[in-house]
Structure 1
C-alpha cells in the first residue's frame, strides 16, 4: 500500500512537534533532537519535520511504496509523466525526480532496500 511522504523544515522543532501532535492526535512515531516523524494511517502519510538548517518550508514530497509491484507501478507512472529520474544502485533504493524550475515536485521515492 502506498503512503504519501511529506517532509517540512521548521524553525522551532519543539513548538512544531506540539502543533502536529495536537493536529494528528498522536505523538511522533520517531523523535530526535532535530527530527520527528509520524507514520499515520488516517490520512495514510509519512509526515516528517526537521530543523536541520534549511529554510522553513517544504523540504520534499514523495510516495513511499512497500512492494515491488507498487514500485514498478510508481516508476512507470513517473516515466509516463516525463519525470526525470536519477536511479541509485541495484536493487533500486530510491528514485529522485530532479526539480524543474517552477515545479513543486522535488523528489519522488522509488522504494528502499529490505
Structure 2
C-alpha cells in the first residue's frame, strides 16, 4: 500500500482525522460543490472519484460516483472557531454560486447554542458550517430545538 505521508502527518499538528465516503450521482457537479465548500481542489481525481484531504479541518472526504434514486437523510458539518469564520465561509460559497439554504444565529441545537449556515450538495446531503457559542442544556433536538432540521411533527431532524 502506497500512502502519501505528506498529506497525513503528525508534524501538521494532528494524528487522526475523520474520513467520509459519499456516494454521489454526478461526480462533476459534486466535485465542483465540494471544491467550493472546502476552498480547495481535490487531492486525487479519477473519472468516477474525487478525494479531498483538508488540513483545516483535518479530514479526508472521498466522493464515488454511484448513481442512486434513493433519498438521503442526515447531514454533515464543519465546526469552526468563530461566528466570523461562519460568515466568511458563507460568503465564499455565495460568491462561488453555491446556494445557502439558511443562515441561523444563536439557535438551540444538539445541547448547544450555534450560529451556522446550511447548504446542500448536488445529491441532497445537507452541510452545516457552524460555531458553538454556548450551552443549551434542554435542546437535544427535541421540542426545545429551533434549528432548521427540527421537525415538531416527528420530534427529530427531518429535511424538506
Normalised to the residue count of structure 1, the TM-score between the two structures is 0.46
Q: Which has the higher contact order (CA 8 A, sep 6+)?
A: 1
Task: Point out the structure with max Rg over C-alpha.
Answer: 2
Normalised to the residue count of structure 2, the TM-score between the two structures is 0.33
